[in-house]
Amino acid sequence: MSRTALVIGGGISGLATAALLARDGWRVDLHEAADEVGGRAGSWESDGFRFDTGPSWYLMPEVFDHFFRLCGTTAAQQLDLIPLTPAYRVYPEPDGDASSTPIDVVSGRAHARELFESREPGAGARLDEYLDSAHDAYELAVSRFLYDTYASTKGLRSPAVAGQLPRLAPLLTRSLHDHVARRFSDPVLRQILGYPAVFLGSSPFDAPSLYHLMSHLDLDEGVLYPQGGFTEVIAAVARVAEAQGATLHTSSPVAEILTQDARAIGIRLADGTVHEADIVVSSADLHATETTMLPASLQTYPQRWWRRRNPGPGALLLLLGVEGELPELAHHTLLFARDWQKNFGDVFGRDTRIPDPASLYVCRPSATDPTVAPVGSENLFVLVPMPADPSLGRGGIGGEGAPLIEEAADRVIAQIAAWTGIPDLAARIRVRRTIAPADFEADLGAWRGGALGLAHTLAQSAVFRPRNASRKVGGLFYAGTSVLPGIGLPMCLISAELVVKRLRGDDGAARLPEPSGVGAGRGVGPGRDDA
């Protein structure tokens, strides 16, 4: 008789877990509360515009390819990946009423060195050293930390890690901001190296400097875009999961994880239907899973545990369909406020508020992808980090969200228009939707309305992050942004792999071995090479 598994949640971590378990011979049923899979990586369509509502940066491509290879295919077979040039554009806060002068950041060591040297004599050589260190830190993270379940301390006690302790200690105890500020004086260069902390749900003033490894990804390796948007990434992972034999159920919300003798035995759906299985994997929000689906006596992370945790930032998202072209914006564009520290203090500090002016991010996928907007129009996705505070209200369509949210959206649109030199931007908007922390809480079960997951502070990274298995309930496992290894689509794919490693009894730090015949056998789905 085959082993049976139930997966809660159809975001990328749940889909990947379902795929890998089915690949290992489990009979898998996945239950997603929404009408379609995707979770935070969702989509929305209106009047010919199709918007991604979540992730928009395709980084760590080798993690995606490793996942697909584990399933007998490749990222190249499943996705049409386009390199972006520039990787992104930066608009610093301008002086006075004039628009800002854009700075294009082009990937590749030579291009990055040239940019840094042009803004600060001697910064090019210092960037070389910085990126060499970032590369080494990245390789160490991938080989020793990201794929470790920490079910034992074997990986941490290895000679390879012990030998790195003199170098690791300052990288763990010094903030990313301080690490950058010791090397570069130009404020924009500091921001270029510090902004990746937001990808980690943190601030450069709080994230440990080990995370300078992120600059290796965009400055050295480059940034890719999956044609069709991140909806296509979700579709590919779902396609692969079904090719392995997993069954995906949408509009199927889970109300309770069933236990017997402190062991998971199944789930109860919101309509009362009971499904039994040998194991349960929740890829839903960890706080919601623990505090609403389990009795207090079986919670590894009860409500009191969460009181001292950092939820990461909330976000104001703007989905804008704009008439006419917007060459002022690259595929990825960042607007950096001058008072960097105040900006992050508004989001993460003791007295939080919606930043104004905000450091923000604009994605213009229509610069690369003709399928996301009508001909002659542009698709804009705007992300403004803000406090993780659902009391700020929900967003809405056509300006019908909560007053605080819509007023902030109006300011953001005006800011983009002024800083980038698009004075008629507001008048050209034909589609408008806002998404706010209360939406993340209501629609995704996100703790405190956080947009990304638990922040990557030192106290919430690696061995200090929630694990992928319950300590109180046998046969209950976790995947997703709130558990090991962390935030972002690549991390979610790795979290799925950590569940499989747990089940296999693999307590090493290495990735699972890939099958020898890539693209061969049971796992091949209808990828692009097969079309």
Contacts 24+ apart (CB under 8 A), 141-148: 141/210, 141/213, 143/509, 143/510, 144/509, 145/462, 145/485, 145/509, 146/485, 146/491, 146/494, 147/485, 147/494, 147/497, 147/498, 147/501, 147/509, 147/510, 147/511, 148/462, 148/484, 148/508, 148/509
Report how far residue 308's alpha carbon sits from residue 448's, in angstroms, rounded to the nearest whole number: 13
Q: 483, 336 in Cβ contact below 8 A?
A: no
What pLDDT is attached to residue 524?
Answer: 34
Averaged over successive runs of 10 residues, the pLDDT of the chain (531 residues) comes to 93 98 98 97 98 96 97 97 98 92 97 98 97 95 93 78 77 94 98 95 95 96 97 98 98 98 98 98 98 98 95 97 98 97 94 96 98 98 97 98 98 98 98 98 97 94 95 98 96 98 95 80 37 31
CA 213: distance to chain centroid? 16
What pLDDT is attached to residue 519?
Answer: 53
Task: Choose the CATH number for 108-221 among 1.10.3470, 1.10.405, 3.10.350, 1.10.101.
Answer: 1.10.405
Q: 375, 455 in Cβ contact below 8 A?
A: no
Q: Is the dihedral of CA 217, 223, 226, 229 positive or negative?
A: positive
Facing residues of 336 across strands? 92
What pLDDT is attached to residue 170?
Answer: 86
Concatenate the DSSP letters of all residues of 406-468 into one string.
HHHHHHHHHHHHHHHT-TTTGGGEEEEEEE-HHHHHHHH--GGG-SSSS---GGGSGGGS--S
**Two tokens, residue 225:** 């875009």
Cα angle for residues 519, 523, 526 (degrees, 5° grid): 75
Q: Name the H helices within 9-55.
A: 12-23
Cα angle for residues 451, 453, 454 (degrees, 5° grid): 135
Cα angle for residues 193, 149, 161 (degrees, 5° grid): 60
104: left (phi over 0), alpha (psi -120 to 50) or beta: beta
Is residue 341 classed as helix, strand or coil in its secondary structure? helix
What pLDDT is attached to residue 531?
Answer: 31
Contacts of 102 (CB under 8 A, 6+ apart): 89, 90, 91, 328, 420
* The residue type at 431: V
What pLDDT is attached to residue 159?
Answer: 79
What pLDDT is attached to residue 529?
Answer: 39
Q: What share of the chain is helix, strand, coil (3-state, %, to 5)?
A: 40, 20, 40
> Residue 399, class by beta-carbon neighbours within 10 Å (0-12 exposed, 13-18 middle, 19+ buried)?
middle
What pLDDT is attached to residue 102?
Answer: 97
* The residue type at 475: G
Report how far residue 247's alpha carbon sits from residue 484's, in angstroms, rounded to the nearest whole number: 25
Length of the chain: 531
User: What are the domain boundaries of the chain?
Assistant: 4-40+60-80+228-308+455-530, 108-221, 311-444
Q: From residue 194, give the alpha-carbon distance in Å to each of 53, 110, 117.
A: 24, 20, 18
**Whether the domain at 4-40+60-80+228-308+455-530 and the domain at 108-221 fall into the same CATH topology:** no
Report how far residue 246's alpha carbon sits from residue 240's, in angstroms, rounded to the nearest whole number: 9
Please name the helix (run of DSSP H) or strand (run of DSSP E) that holds residue 110, with its range, or none.
helix 109-119
Please tell me what DSSP assigns to residue 198. Answer: G
Contacts of 143 (CB under 8 A, 6+ apart): 160, 509, 510
Phi/psi of residue 45, nearest 5 degrees: -125, 145
Radius of gyration of the chain (CA): 22
Cα angle for residues 72, 78, 84 (degrees, 5° grid): 130
Report how far residue 101's alpha carbon sits from residue 335's, in angstroms, rounded to the nearest whole number: 11
Is residue 229 classed as helix, strand or coil in its secondary structure? coil
Longest CA pairwise span in the chain (Å): 72
Q: Is the dihedral of CA 172, 210, 493, 442 positive or negative?
A: positive
Question: Cβ–Cβ contacts within 10 Å for residue 187, how many?
Answer: 15
What pLDDT is attached to residue 449?
Answer: 97
Please tell me what DSSP assigns to residue 101. Answer: P
Q: What is the CATH number of domain 4-40+60-80+228-308+455-530?
A: 3.50.50.60
